[in-house]
Structure 1
C-alpha cells in the first residue's frame, strides 16, 4: 500500500513537471495562482503578468518583473507558499491595432477589455495592465486574441430601453456597425436614431466590473443612477499607460 502511494505521488509530480515545462500557445495562459499548465512561451514571446491569477504569452521580451505568491501542497500534506517571478504586464501594441480607453472621470484612462483577458465575457473598462488590443474592420470591433473576439451589442427590447450592453463573442456581430469618428468609437444601427453615436455609459456591477453600455440617449443627460457618461477613444502608444 505504501509503495502504491509513493508511485501515485511520483506520477502526479512528474505530470505536473512535464505540463509546466510544455510551451503555451501564442496569447495563451502561461501562469498565475492555481495554474498548472504550460509556463513557457514560444520563441520571441514572453510570459506577462496580467493579474495574480492570469499571465499571458505576448510578443516581445519582458520589460520588467513582478512576484506572484501562490499556494502549494507538499507531499507530506502540509500547506506552504511558493513564489515565482514573471514579467510585468506591458503588452506592446501590435501593428495595425489600437488600445481603446475612456477619457472622462471617474474612468479616466480605463481600457476596454474582457473581464477575463481574451475570453467571451461582458465588455468592461479596466486597468491599463490588462488592456486588450483592437481593430475596426468591416464594421466589426475585433479584440486581438486567439481566436479573435467580436464586440456585440444586445438587441433593444423596446423603445423605453436607453442603454444596451456590450459583450464579446467568438462569432462576428450580425447587427450594428462600429466605426471611428476622429479618435472616438461610434456604434450605429439603422433601426435606432441615436442623437450622439459616440455616447457610451460605464456602469459598475455588484462584482466591481465596470460594464460598458451603448448610450441611446443624449450624452450627460438623464444618466442612469450609478453610471457615468463616457466617450471611448483609440490610443496607439507603444504600451497602455495610466
Structure 2
C-alpha cells in the first residue's frame, strides 16, 4: 500500500489539486492521483483503488466538504502485516429457500456491494445460502446480492426468491466487544442505522462510539462480515482483515 498525507501550503511551482474528502477515491488506475483533506491520508490498496482514510490523529467527519487548495504531496509505501486466518466451525446448514437466482445484471435502483482491498478485492456481499440464520459474507461475484439502503435499513432484493431480507447487526451486552456479527433476516434490523457516505457503506449506533463508522472485518475461511468497533487497520483481531465496503453500479458484478 501507499500512504500519503497532505497539508495545505503554497510552494513555488506546486501543482494545483482538488483535495478529496473522507473515504473518497484518491487514486488508482485511470484515476488522477489526488490528496486528502487535512488529517486524512491516501492509502493505496491495489493498482486500481486508493482511498482517503483517517490519519493517525484524525476522526471521521461525515458530511464535511473539502476545499480546493494548492498543495504538495508526499507518498510512501506502507506494508500491512496481518495475522493469517484461523479456521472457524461451520454453521448449521439447511436447504436454501426458493429456486430463482438473483439476476446477474444489476437492476435499476439497486447496487452491488463489494470490498476493494486485498485479500478480498472485488469480493461481494451476499448471504451464506446454506446457513441458518444466513450469515453475511464477502465472497464470489457469481453469487453477489443486489442491495440498497432505505430508511436506515440495508435491504437485499430477492427478486421473487422469497421475501426481501435485511442485514442485521449483533447487539452485544458488552459494548466494548470488538467484533459484531452480521446476518440476514426477513424482518428489519433493530440495532443501529445504515447509510452511504459517498459510495462507502457505514453503520452507526448511539450506544457504541466507533472511531470509524466505515470499518468492517472479514474473518475466517468462511469470509464472514463483522462490524469493526475499534480502529481501522489497528490491532486487527486474529483471523480477520480490515475492509471498507462500497456500492458499485456496474451492470455486472465483475472481478
| Superposition TM-score, scaled by structure 2 size | 0.58
Q: Mapping of 1:2-81 within 5 angstroms? A: 28-29=98-99, 56-57=100-101
Residue 129 of structure 1 aligns to a residue whose secondary structure is helix
Q: CA deviation at 1:58?
A: 5.1
Residue 142 of structure 2 aligns to a residue whose secondary structure is helix
| Structure with max Cα Rg | 1
Partner of 1:103: 116
Q: Distance in 1 between matches of 2:131 and 2:178?
A: 28
Q: CA RMSD in A?
A: 1.8
Partner of 1:225: 238
Residue 122 of structure 1 aligns to a residue whose secondary structure is strand
Q: Distance in 2 between matches of 1:209 and 1:58?
A: 21
Q: Give 1 or 2: higher helix fraction.
A: 1
Q: Distance in 1 between matches of 2:102 and 2:182?
A: 26
Q: Distance in 1 between matches of 2:116 and 2:134?
A: 23
Structure 1 residues not aligned, in runs of 5+? 1-26, 30-55, 60-90
Partner of 2:82: none
8 Å CA contact 1:202–1:229 kept in 2: the answer is: yes
8 Å CA contact 2:170–2:191 kept in 1: the answer is: no
| Superposition TM-score, scaled by structure 1 size | 0.61
Q: CA deviation at 1:174?
A: 1.4
Partner of 2:125: 112
Q: CA deviation at 1:157?
A: 2.2
Structure 2 residues not aligned, in runs of 5+? 1-96
Q: Deviation string for 1:51-107 (max 9, x for gaps)?
A: xxxxx3455xxxxxxxxxxxxxxxxxxxxxxxxxxxxxxx11111000000011111
Deviating above 6 A after TM superposition, structure 1's stretches of 4 or more consecutive aligned residues are none
